A and B are shown apart, each in its own frame.
Chain A
């Protein structure tokens, strides 16, 4: 969505503009927030943070220009900043500490991640390998390890028992490991 489009919706009504912006970027913002808060926050914390991000966006776009500029850059910037703020607040409250203090859990650092095109390409391959597992296994893995939903919550969403979710997750990880090896991705070994 561009600022020009947003401005048009804003003329109809602020709520219309907000809804359009929200519908367009909600999934992305939620993914960013989940990635940041996965270790220290609950789902309610993530919901709260997402609504804060959109509040910031609505305020930032109150005097929207008409330059045809894509709003995604602004959405990315505000999402990441707000998610980091929320992480700091929640982690200090829960005593988790900084990213570096966490042991046993992995938080990707910049040095771990190949940059730019290389990372994009690798992510596409990984996602396609996960997709090949088919549903519900692909969903279980992503919900469990990207969004960090507890098995109980996943079971509820998929109308399964918690035990089934754990069993499926275990089998899916084994399958995915083999596919990583076949595709020559380092994580397989």
Chain B
């Protein structure tokens, strides 16, 4: 009996069997995948070339040799004739500069200029991918240790406004000097949140989107955080002075050092205080929320590429599941990281159906000497509340204000001028 039954099992459709009874474990698949990649990256390892052996004797044909010699003579004669014709008496010589250029165009020993410019890019790109997952995580958790000054524009599909508990697409422009503590951060809505061109680009190639994503247009109503190095002011129809606590824990710590297990056995991580005074953009300039939320499970993501848009960037691709994925509407993602500093340069999140649920990209990211100067704001234009009024209002105000920011008044007539002078 068994033979007939076994016949039927043997003849089952590979498609059905592979779907219902896949054989390979994850590790086995990884091994075979790496084998195929090795073959691809060094074709000499593949089966075809490994079977090549021996040398077929090459027999020169006398006729071919003779024909080649004859062709050489004919070519030389033609060149000599052409030269005599070109230099015949009465014909003007070409201008000297053209002659010089033509000589320079064909250097005898140097390779063509294209080869020279292209050559360094490949190893650099390879170097970027050479970064390990641990390297990347550590940079993302310690970005302030890699630069002193930054300027950048983030274009974000949904920034949550804690005051109104709503989210909206916006543009966040950032200037921050870590040495002086001065910073300027402007956030404004976009006039055109998502153009068709943008939609096509973002759903196409992530790398191209991060490099060439169209610049967004601000609607003119901007909320600004300004830090003069001592205190941070919020300018949003009212001027508010905040006490800044951004000088706290800013030491370099590895991912491992940040991890601990609490009394109930849960994994916990210590966050580094962002010293940028940029408020809206702290999570992007020091992307520890993304490092710990998206990338801490290292088997769930991979380094999937690299690109150069003036700075070197690394692309990470991963998946999420469970409650966190549900909360963020993110089941898979592509994250772009500045290779040198670990700063977030882009992100595309996808929901459970593979639709884009969120995106972030940057324009004009510059560091240190290349970073734009911080715009100055004349704070003398603003008038603060009297401390008595603040004290009267304090209990109720603070109850609703999780940040415990003392509220001050402003000079409304001068505010519009200030806004216009902002970059």
Contact = CB atoms under 8 A, between A and B. Distances in A.
Interface of A: 8, 11-16, 18-19, 22-23, 26-28, 30-32, 34-35, 38, 47-48, 50-52, 54-55, 58-59, 106-108, 112-113, 119-120, 123-124, 126-127, 130-131, 138-139, 141-143, 145-147, 149, 173, 176-177, 180, 185-189
B18 A58 contact: no
Interface residues of B, number: 48
Interface string B300-324: 0010111000000001010000000
Contact of A187 (B7, B29, B31, B46): B7
Interface in B307-355: 315, 317, 334
Contact of A48 (B20, B35, B204, B304): B35
Given A12-B317, A22-B33, A47-B28, 18 more contacts: A11-B208, A12-B205, A13-B315, A15-B304, A18-B36, A26-B29, A27-B19, A28-B18, A30-B23, A32-B14, A124-B16, A127-B17, A138-B21, A143-B21, A145-B6, A146-B10, A186-B4, A187-B8
A185 B47 CA distance: 42
B205 A8 contact: yes
A47 B1 contact: no
B305 A19 contact: no
A139 B21 contact: yes
Contacts of A13: 304-306, 315
B14 A54 contact: no
A173 B33 CA distance: 34
A114 B28 CA distance: 33
B5 A180 contact: yes
Contacts of B302: 19
Contacts of B304: 12-13, 15-16, 19
Interface in B188-232: 204-208
> Which 4 residue pairs spanning A and B have beta carbons closest together?
A13-B305, A108-B11, A51-B35, A31-B18
B15 interface: yes
Nearest to A108: B11
B9 A55 contact: no
A31 B19 CA distance: 10
B146 interface: no
Contacts of A142: 9, 17, 21
A18 to B, nearest CB: 6
Most buried by A among B4, B14, B31: B14
Tell me what chain A mostly uses at the interface: helix, strand, loop, or mixed: helix
B134 interface: no
A30 B40 contact: no
A153 B334 CA distance: 39
B204 A30 contact: no
Contact of B17 (A11, A16, A146): A146
A55 B1 contact: no
Interface of B: 1-24, 28-29, 31-33, 35-37, 39-40, 46-47, 204-208, 302, 304-306, 315, 317, 334
Contacts of B1: 177, 187-189
Q: What DSSP secondary structure best describes chain B's contact surface?
A: helix
Contacts of B29: 22-23, 26
Contact of B33 (A54, A126, A145, A187): A54
A111 B240 CA distance: 85
Given A22-B29, A47-B35, A177-B1, A123 B16 contact: yes
Given A176-B5, A177-B5, A188-B1, A31 B14 contact: yes
A31 to B, nearest CB: 4
Nearest to A62: B40
A35 B14 contact: yes
Contacts of B35: 47-48, 51
Contacts, number: 156
Contacts of B19: 27-28
A58 B36 contact: yes
Contacts of B23: 27, 30-31, 34, 143, 147, 149
Nearest to B25: A157
Contact of A120 (B3, B13, B315): B13
Given A26-B24, A30-B23, A146-B21, A19 B15 contact: no
A126 B8 contact: yes
Nearest to A181: B1
Nearest to B204: A8
A55 B46 contact: yes
Contacts of A12: 205-207, 304-305, 315, 317, 334
Q: Which of A12, A54, A108, A176 has the most CB of B within 10 A?
A: A12
A34 to B, nearest CB: 7
Contacts of A126: 8-9, 12
19 contacts: A11-B205, A11-B208, A12-B205, A12-B315, A16-B304, A19-B302, A26-B33, A50-B36, A51-B35, A51-B39, A52-B39, A58-B36, A106-B7, A112-B7, A120-B13, A123-B12, A126-B9, A141-B9, A146-B9
B32 A188 contact: no
Given A106-B3, A143-B23, A28 B15 contact: yes
A56 B275 CA distance: 52
B10 A19 contact: no
B285 to A, nearest CB: 25
Contacts of B46: 52, 55
B24 A30 contact: yes
Nearest to B15: A28
B40 A58 contact: yes
B18 A30 contact: yes
A108 B20 CA distance: 21
